[in-house]
């Protein structure tokens, strides 16, 4: 199993081979075995394969090719709708229209998503997470008819790989670990941790392509800019509120 975990690569090119029904069911079942707060299972999993809907999702996900190309896109949602309806049918007064409940449900959805991703990889399927899910949450809600008390928090595309990329570089393990308590980073330590990433061939190539002095500038100026982050913060907070999760007073 560790082999599967340690060999994960994001796959962005898929073959035409469809995913067998039984395999898909096993993968989704694996999602439900993840830990869930109080065994409430406050998440939902939406499996989309119809081309027309996938095309709409492709638009929402910044027109990334893999969304159209993959046979299936799976959207993981924080979902208190089902649980609230159950409470209401059972003479119980739900108090889940608040931020804590949203975040609890998001944790449930994300742990389930990682189980699904890993389970898929054990069947030689490839997956890629779509970070655009939280940027375009409102559009996804409209496309997938998502009701109140449900918020999409992660998506993966899934299919048989048509590529075999190298393992992605990671920071050295000790760069993200802290023992006993958090030890804050000195400038020297930061330089050490990022040294390998900064001196890679990939970075050299990116600096030329992007005409930047440092790798960090590619992140701040191009990939994850303040302007975009502020816009998407406002949009995502609005979605959380509109979906009913911001009644944080008695």
Using CB under 8 A, which residues numbered 80 to 119 contact a copy of itself?
Answer: 81-83, 85-87, 89-96, 98-101, 103-104, 106-107, 110-111, 113-115, 117-119
- Report in angstroms how near the CB of residue 11 gets to a copy of itself at its nearest: 11
Q: What is the smallest separation between the CB atom of 44 and a copy of itself, expressed in angstroms?
A: 6
Per-position x/- string for 22-51, each x denoting binding to a copy of itself as judged by CB under 8 A, each - no binding: ---xx-xxx-xxxx-xxxxx-xxxxxxxx-
Residue 208 in contact with a copy of itself, rule: CB under 8 A? no
Task: State yes or no: residue 129 binds a copy of itself (CB under 8 A).
Answer: yes
Pick from 143, 157, 158, 239: which binds a copy of itself (CB under 8 A)?
143
Q: Measured from the CB atom, is 65 or 172 closer to a copy of itself?
A: 172
Separation CA 125–CA 122 (nearest Å): 7
CB of 65 to a copy of itself, least distance (A): 18
Residue from 67, 155, 161, 236 in contact with a copy of itself (CB under 8 A): 236
**239 contributes a contact to a copy of itself by CB under 8 A:** no
* Residue pair 80/41 in contact by the 8 Å Cβ criterion: no
- Number of shown-chain residues binding a copy of itself (CB under 8 A): 122
Residue 146 CB burial class (10 angstroms; 0-12, 13-18, ≥19): buried
Question: Which of 50, 82, 79 is CA-nearest to residue 152?
Answer: 79
C-beta separation of 152 from 110 below 8 A: no
Neighbours of 8 (CB within 10 A): 14
Q: Which residue has the tokens 């609230």?
A: 84
The three-state secondary structure class of 129 is: strand
* 3-class secondary structure, 156: strand
């Amino acid at each position: 199993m560790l082999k599967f975990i340690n060999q994960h690569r994001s796959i962005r090119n898929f073959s035409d081979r469809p995913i067998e029904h039984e395999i898909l069911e096993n993968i989704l079942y694996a999602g439900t075995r993840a830990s869930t707060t109080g065994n409430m299972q406050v998440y939902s999993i939406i499996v989309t394969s119809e081309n027309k809907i996938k095309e709409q999702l492709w638009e929402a996900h910044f027109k990334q090719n893999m969304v159209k190309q993959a046979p299936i896109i799976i959207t993981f949602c924080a979902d208190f709708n089902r649980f609230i309806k159950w409470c209401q049918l059972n003479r119980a007064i739900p108090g889940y229209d608040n931020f804590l409940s949203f975040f609890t449900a998001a944790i449930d959805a994300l742990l389930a998503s990682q189980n699904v991703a890993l389970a898929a990889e054990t069947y030689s399927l490839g997956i890629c997470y779509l970070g655009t899910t939280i940027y375009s949450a409102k559009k996804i809600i409209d496309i997938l008819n998502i009701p109140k008390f449900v918020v999409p928090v992660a998506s993966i595309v899934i299919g048989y790989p048509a590529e075999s990329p190298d393992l992605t570089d990671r920071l050295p393990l000790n760069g993200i670990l802290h023992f006993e308590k958090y030890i804050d980073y000195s400038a020297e330590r930061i330089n050490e941790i990022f040294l390998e990433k900064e001196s890679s061939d990939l970075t050299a190539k990116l600096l030329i392509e992007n005409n930047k002095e440092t790798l960090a500038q590619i992140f701040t100026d191009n990939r994850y800019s303040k302007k975009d982050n502020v816009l998407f913060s406002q949009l995502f907070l609005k979605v959380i509120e509109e979906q009913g999760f911001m009644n944080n007073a008695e």
